[in-house]
Structure 1
């Protein structure tokens, strides 16, 4: 989201001003357009709602502040273009984009630069490099597509969030600004060639906007239902919100004749609508941005309409000086608040009151400073203006004022040059290695060999698990990060799907492409479940190397639990394909009659049928229904529990963190559901394996064991660590009589 703030001297009502003012330099002339305080007040409401949502996660619909800004932007920019064409008969793209650059870029570049500097010192290498990439997209107004292509789920992200993620809305608006002036000019040119008048041109502009807005809304409805994560960032799914503001701007001459008695009720109706939407719209309800965004969009439209031509009375919540000042600095507030929230969480626990105090204080201080020292001075300066305009401007007023203006222009130019230089330097820095956190003396600081290096593959499962437990105890006692191989930075930067290939995607390749080992090997294992199952693939790929008599086939699918219940996912293609994947896996198992089926599922998730988290009974019932058809088709069903979830290493592993920051505790939900798997295994004659028994100590689980990082994110094993589990899993399967003892 971005907050477009027109100069305080410019009227936001698209109709020409009629008032006159007396100038000390000559006769009366047209007055500068007064500021609409109600629009500044709407900016205040919007930015505070967004900040409250991001910081306190309350109210539930605070994110709709973005939609308020979209309507205001469409109204203001369209009104500006109409006024310019009515006055000059054309639209100056040079002037338009010069104003956009002066208005948007100084503060945006400043925050991006500050974010990259902070990320360099506070993030691990992998996350810093991702932030640099996000910064490049943000600077070139493509952040929304960057996050959409990356599969970012704005409401339920499980990976480390980008401190520049909020630039997505700035990108949406700037993409709109890039297309909309050209389209309007094209309409005006065509009308002029047809010798149509101003009213004719305005009618065609209105018709065009209505068609595009309706088309965008229809597209948004479809995309919100089929792929909400993509729809949230999509310009095409958001354009209708700016279009509503544009429609109001075109209809301003008619709407300005609204009777005075109707203005105040309409304004309050809009304010109440915004307040209601902030509290009742929820990320859990679905249908966003369409149709739910229509509530804040139409409510904002009502407030804007109420003030066209004449102000609505008695709307003090949005017309008082405090509201207007917050509206003035709303762009800076928006730019600064999100990176401050992200970075403060690196050094302070989110649960402590001090965290909230620091975030609010830094946001306010930096926003006020950047507004008065960067944003407003550069916007008011003659930077990028034609030389004749700068000369005319410099002749106005006393000498001290002319000097100040000249200094503002010089300072603005130097400031932009400095920011650009810093961005280049930081980009070069990003290509170099970031020094790992220092290793200091302390309990557990000594590096131990990894399990696969220190344990003979023929050792008993008891010996192997004892080695893991001992390493878990030492890792939990460590006061600083040891040297790991691969490093956590390497794990975070690696492609987690290198081994899995595309086998766990929606479009699964052939069975041959998703099988490992000798096709004639007598022992056949089949993996089913979701991405936590495919994360164990390196375990079984290594087992195949240890046991040439074993082959494996993977039927796991990312986001698709092996259950008769469907679980929700931001990618609706996964939800749609899940049932067919499970049915295909069951059919394959029935035909192939493998030696064993390995089942691994994530233990959380919302049911599609209810929209709520599955109860323990629902979770176990869905699992049993999916597994029951396998009984009799395979001699063994093995429930291999997913690893205990915990903090994402991309967030908790930093130059200022300790291993304790990444350690996790086994949740009660996981304990209950692993126990349910064990009961189900006993019921059907299967086997249950819980790696937490040997990866954790007294319910606490570290992020590294020996020299290996355990998890690559909050829920999935790193490939290196999963591979190291092959000996112990093999021995457990042998001791459980799932596998025969290996030939000597």
Structure 2
């Protein structure tokens, strides 16, 4: 591909040697602030706004790339896409690919098979600079919310930067071409106004979209390219304003601007929290504060800026890319080997992260960056300055490498599935399956028993490799977020069958497999109304309210069910426990008045991320994992109080099948209890609770 433009003097002046020096200690210092903030946030959850370090990186990236491109445009009159992307590849790819390779390899060693497979898939997205799209989708997937984090999740920000790099050079080139064609008399002025207009429009549109998305779809907003590009564009604006900023007097004005910016960054780190609407408008303060610091140094050094120019800041700034790449995989992988929340974990995590960063930076990243790898001689003519030619041989090599990588990845995924012994776990329910015999030493019935044998960790059910996927069709008839609720009917088709319904959220769905396998023997027909956030309340919380009100109207207008079974997550519902309790009663009372019995199932105890990590820890003993009963039941369940106050409602409390008098184990009767940190119970364990649930339904119907 070859593109040529004719150009004379730039007229913009951004990126001239006098305005963009080859070394900026302030940029290194800001990189240090950014990476240290991110590392501390990931390790200690402190400071509360440590995640704004990524926003600092975005501004710096937009500034640096724009300054670099404009400097080339000024010096040569055009751009070489080939040389630009070669420089980017030499700077970005080696260290990134090394980290991805090490992470995938380590993941296959320390993670359960299902998580190792997910890590490989995440890595492929990261290698293609599309990790943010992957995690945007995963982050909005309800069934992924309670799972452990990906060790390559931090690549989302690098992906956004690379996506910006793919587009921005062409935009700048287009502006210069148009200015050269339509602004021959005042070419420089045309370019300047065009640049300002494009950047200004990008900032306005992207920021507006970010603000709207942050309030309605915060996960999407956090990872989206379109809600983040305004931050890089603000950095680009500082580069475009270089000539004007360079004329600032070297008096107290520059230090005042710089320290004002640093103060804004400090305030952002400690005042912004994960609850802040982000990135719009929450990122405004850290973004603008970063631009103040960068702008203060434009064209001149600033005296008295030790916080940014000291040796420690310069060291961490120079190795910030390497440290950013390594720290998160180290933290996540190490958590699969040793317990978190212990001093030894923090010490080892920091030591390994710093060591890997230093070794990678000194002996791998830096030598390649300073080498002539991928470098070619570029001969600029006085007029023809943008030229990119990729030979067929080069394309063949790239294609072959991609093909090999794809085949290797598919084989690895296949091997992982075979190792885990899993396929599609949410297949349609097999309602003809024979009912499991009650084993007093398997699952819930074995709680607290000292006579039941304890198997080895490798013999628990479901296995460590598969428990996170153990749903057995519980969500085969499910309303996803934003969708319409639907119904499915299982069980007896006899005319005299008792009609039951199951209404609720994902915690209600976990009861489904065990119930369906016992419908025929009880001559019950069961219709389900299950969905994301669908607590059976009036009014119902979240976006399920309309569906719940429509369902309520349908229940009141149609033939009454003999009984309705319901449950919901204890931490979800109305604005307060009292409001949720009243909302339950309002929904149920209208139905019980028609003769329908309500079987309210108390929600299962909660579980923490530490417990799930304990179960999967390499070399650990899952039988030692668990939560204190008081902690697991700390959140009150408003459904329990509502059942006590609603005539015609019966409470079925299965808590004593989860917990002993003082502890809620992660493994009961050699069965893993929870799939994830969202409190979703494995289908295998839920199956062992079905006899007690069926007994409760029978009692309510009696």
Structure 1 position 739 matched with structure 2 position 698:
no
Residue number in structure 2 paired with 1:550: 524
Q: CA deviation at 1:602?
A: 0.8
Determine which of 174, 191, 194 is the counterpart of 1:201. Answer: 191
Structure 1 position 489 matched with structure 2 position 453:
no
**How far apart, in 2, do the equivalents of 1:39 and 1:541 lie?**
62
Residue number in structure 2 paired with 1:716: 680
Cα distance, 1:302–1:505 mapped onto 2, change above 3 Å = closer
Determine which of 563, 570, 574 is the counterpart of 1:603. Answer: 570
On the 8 A contact 1:465/1:694 being kept in 2, the answer is no
Q: CA deviation at 1:601?
A: 1.2
**How far apart, in 1, do the equivalents of 2:145 and 2:320 lie?**
26
Deviation track 1:455-512 (CA, whole Å, cap 9, x = no partner) reads 39xxxxxxx799843266469984731435553433434677664333455323544x
1:271 aligned counterpart, secondary structure = helix
**How far apart, in 2, do the equivalents of 1:672 and 1:268 lie?**
45
Deviates more, 1:359-368 or 1:678-687: 678-687
Deviation track 1:186-207 (CA, whole Å, cap 9, x = no partner) reads 2212222224323322321221
2:502 aligned counterpart, secondary structure = strand
On the 8 A contact 1:144/1:233 being kept in 2, the answer is yes
Structure 1 position 56 matched with structure 2 position 44:
yes
Residue number in structure 2 paired with 1:43: 31
Determine which of 267, 273, 279 is the counterpart of 1:276. Answer: 267
Structure 1 position 431 matched with structure 2 position 414:
yes
**How far apart, in 1, do the equivalents of 2:606 and 2:648 lie?**
28
**How far apart, in 2, do the equivalents of 1:630 and 1:559 lie?**
21
**How far apart, in 1, do the equivalents of 2:587 and 2:606 lie?**
24
Cα distance, 1:141–1:679 mapped onto 2, change above 3 Å = closer
> Cα RMSD (Å) of the superposition?
3.3
Structure 1 position 288 matched with structure 2 position 278:
yes
Q: CA deviation at 1:533?
A: 1.1
Aligned length: 650
Determine which of 435, 450, 455 is the counterpart of 2:438. Answer: 455
On the 8 A contact 1:476/1:701 being kept in 2, the answer is no
Q: CA deviation at 1:525?
A: 1.8
Structure 1 position 561 matched with structure 2 position 535:
yes
2:600 aligned counterpart, secondary structure = strand
Residue number in structure 2 paired with 1:470: 446
Residue number in structure 2 paired with 1:536: 511
Residue number in structure 1 paired with 2:114: 126
1:555 aligned counterpart, secondary structure = strand
Deviation track 1:258-289 (CA, whole Å, cap 9, x = no partner) reads 2223111100110000110111111123x211
Cα distance, 1:425–1:353 mapped onto 2, change above 3 Å = same
Residue number in structure 1 paired with 2:3: none
1:356-395 counterparts in 2 under 5 A?
356-386=346-376
Residue number in structure 2 paired with 1:570: none
**How far apart, in 1, do the equivalents of 2:403 and 2:296 lie?**
42
Residue number in structure 1 paired with 2:86: 98
Residue number in structure 1 paired with 2:393: none
On the 8 A contact 2:446/2:669 being kept in 1, the answer is no
Q: CA deviation at 1:135?
A: 0.5
Cα distance, 1:628–1:703 mapped onto 2, change above 3 Å = same
Residue number in structure 1 paired with 2:4: none
Structure 1 position 174 matched with structure 2 position 162:
yes
**How far apart, in 2, do the equivalents of 1:33 and 1:476 lie?**
73
1:583 aligned counterpart, secondary structure = helix
1:164 aligned counterpart, secondary structure = coil
**How far apart, in 2, do the equivalents of 1:469 and 1:510 lie?**
33
**How far apart, in 1, do the equivalents of 2:471 and 2:182 lie?**
58
1:214 aligned counterpart, secondary structure = helix
Residue number in structure 2 paired with 1:6: none
Residue number in structure 1 paired with 2:552: 586
Determine which of 621, 636, 643 is the counterpart of 2:597. Answer: 636
Q: CA deviation at 1:152?
A: 5.0
**How far apart, in 2, do the equivalents of 1:277 and 1:660 lie?**
43
2:518 aligned counterpart, secondary structure = helix
1:349 aligned counterpart, secondary structure = coil
Cα distance, 1:595–1:18 mapped onto 2, change above 3 Å = closer
Residue number in structure 1 paired with 2:585: 624
Deviation track 1:653-688 (CA, whole Å, cap 9, x = no partner) reads 244222135434434563673597167336524211
Q: CA deviation at 1:705?
A: 4.7
Residue number in structure 1 paired with 2:476: 500
Cα distance, 1:426–1:361 mapped onto 2, change above 3 Å = farther
Deviation track 1:518-573 (CA, whole Å, cap 9, x = no partner) reads 385542222222211122222322232333x3122222321233345765xxxxxx
Q: CA deviation at 1:331?
A: 0.7
1:42 aligned counterpart, secondary structure = helix
**How far apart, in 1, do the equivalents of 2:600 and 2:493 lie?**
24
Length-normalised TM-score, structure 2: 0.85
**How far apart, in 2, do the equivalents of 1:122 and 1:214 lie?**
45
2:202 aligned counterpart, secondary structure = helix
**How far apart, in 1, do the equivalents of 2:634 and 2:189 lie?**
70
Deviation track 1:295-323 (CA, whole Å, cap 9, x = no partner) reads 10011011111010112221110111210
Cα distance, 1:476–1:598 mapped onto 2, change above 3 Å = same
Residue number in structure 2 paired with 1:524: 499
**How far apart, in 1, do the equivalents of 2:680 and 2:288 lie?**
43
**How far apart, in 2, do the equivalents of 1:77 and 1:357 lie?**
36
Structure 1 position 234 matched with structure 2 position 201:
no
1:172 aligned counterpart, secondary structure = helix
Deviation track 1:405-445 (CA, whole Å, cap 9, x = no partner) reads xxxxxxxxxxxx999999986764443248989xxxxxxxx
Cα distance, 1:630–1:176 mapped onto 2, change above 3 Å = same
On the 8 A contact 1:306/1:312 being kept in 2, the answer is yes
Determine which of 320, 344, 352 is the counterpart of 1:354. Answer: 344
On the 8 A contact 1:644/1:665 being kept in 2, the answer is no
Residue number in structure 1 paired with 2:653: 690
Deviation track 1:621-653 (CA, whole Å, cap 9, x = no partner) reads 443344343331343211112322325686432
Cα distance, 1:139–1:66 mapped onto 2, change above 3 Å = same
**How far apart, in 2, do the equivalents of 1:179 and 1:430 lie?**
32
* Runs of 5+ consecutive residues of structure 1 not aligned to the other structure: 1-12, 20-31, 390-416, 438-449, 457-463, 568-574
Q: CA deviation at 1:363?
A: 1.1
Q: CA deviation at 1:719?
A: 2.8
Cα distance, 1:292–1:515 mapped onto 2, change above 3 Å = farther
* Runs of 5+ consecutive residues of structure 2 not aligned to the other structure: 1-12, 380-399, 421-432
Deviation track 1:92-115 (CA, whole Å, cap 9, x = no partner) reads 111111011111111111111111
Residue number in structure 2 paired with 1:219: 209
Cα distance, 1:207–1:353 mapped onto 2, change above 3 Å = same
**How far apart, in 2, do the equivalents of 1:496 and 1:39 lie?**
53
2:457 aligned counterpart, secondary structure = coil
On the 8 A contact 2:151/2:329 being kept in 1, the answer is yes
Q: CA deviation at 1:147?
A: 0.8
On the 8 A contact 1:597/1:634 being kept in 2, the answer is no
1:324-339 counterparts in 2 under 5 A?
324-339=314-329
2:499 aligned counterpart, secondary structure = strand
On the 8 A contact 1:277/1:295 being kept in 2, the answer is yes
Deviation track 1:147-183 (CA, whole Å, cap 9, x = no partner) reads 11113599x9532110111000000110111011111
**How far apart, in 2, do the equivalents of 1:467 and 1:96 lie?**
61
Deviates more, 1:261-270 or 1:193-202: 193-202
